[in-house]
């Protein structure tokens, strides 16, 4: 495991519902690596003027591969879109920019700020952030990105330009990681889309136990 500068992380706030660990402006690739290895992630509100909340929520959503459920309509979409090509790490910067630009109903903007993009691009250059891309010929029609700094894939964001393509990217990611010995991914917060795929919540204590176990026996997930 590569050496990472030490950062001070206090215990999560017990009663705020978010598990707030720190509130500051210290966004850097090194700080991100340290955070993920402690089960912490940034949750900014999108404003460059506000400090970044670093959180370790009391409940964490994960997708275990042996509990993966592919709904009938997604199986149908996979057959209909079988001409698509899926790749990994071919267009990370394009994917993260597309995720930042994706519409979010009910939200005024995106948490994927220019500073966030810069930090995650640096993680990608270090081999600690990765993308999955879906291509229709030469056109990028969907993708996702996440982080492996803690020896577990932590999903960050997805986008699609054709219906169901982002979910198909998840299926491609699961196949990719399963082939390399992984058995689950961290998705941070449970969403309706991931719930349909079989994702569920576990306690913070259980998540940190699993995270520590993965770090004791790391495996190459990409490359």
Sign of CA pseudo-dihedral 113, 12, 25, 41: negative
How many whole angstroms separate alpha carbon 173 and alpha carbon 23?
Answer: 32
Higher local confidence (pLDDT), 60 or 17: 60
* pTM for this model (two decimals): 0.94
Return d(Cα 97, Cα 100) in angstroms, integer. 5
User: Is the pLDDT assigned to residue 192 strictly greater than 90?
Assistant: yes
User: Where do we find the tokens 């340290």?
Assistant: 34
Residue 40 neighbours by CB distance under 10 Å: 23
Q: Does 3.40.630.70 match the CATH number of domain 60-216?
A: yes
**140-176 pLDDT, tens per residue?**
999 999 999 999 999 999 999 999 999 999 999 999 9
Beta bridge mates, 186: 62, 154
Instruction: Using pLDDT thresholds of 50, 70 and 90, give the confidence band for residue 38.
Output: very high
pLDDT attached to residue 4: 66
Instruction: Give the start-to-end residue ranges of the domains of the chain.
Output: 60-216
The DSSP secondary-structure symbol of 209 reads: H
């Amino acid at each position: 495991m590569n050496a990472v500068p030490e950062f001070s992380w206090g215990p999560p706030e017990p009663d705020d519902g978010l598990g707030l660990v720190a509130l500051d402006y210290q966004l850097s690739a090194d700080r991100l690596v340290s955070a993920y290895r402690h089960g912490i992630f940034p949750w900014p509100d999108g404003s460059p003027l506000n400090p970044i909340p670093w959180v370790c929520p009391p409940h964490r959503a994960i997708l275990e591969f042996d509990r993966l459920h592919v709904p009938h309509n997604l199986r149908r979409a996979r057959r209909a879109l079988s001409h698509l090509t899926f790749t990994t790490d071919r267009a990370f910067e394009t994917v993260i920019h597309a995720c930042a630009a994706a519409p979010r109903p009910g939200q005024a903007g995106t948490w994927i700020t220019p500073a966030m993009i810069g930090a995650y691009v640096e993680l990608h250059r270090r081999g600690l952030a990765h993308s999955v891309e879906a291509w229709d010929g030469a056109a990028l029609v969907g993708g996702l990105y996440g982080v492996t700094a803690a020896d577990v894939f932590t999903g960050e964001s997805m986008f699609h330009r054709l219906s169901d393509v982002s979910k198909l990217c998840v299926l491609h990611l699961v196949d990719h990681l399963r082939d390399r010995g992984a058995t689950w991914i961290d998705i941070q917060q449970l969403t309706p889309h991931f719930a349909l795929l079989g994702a569920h919540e576990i306690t913070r204590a259980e998540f940190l136990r699993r995270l520590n176990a993965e770090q004791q026996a790391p495996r190459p997930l990409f490359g």
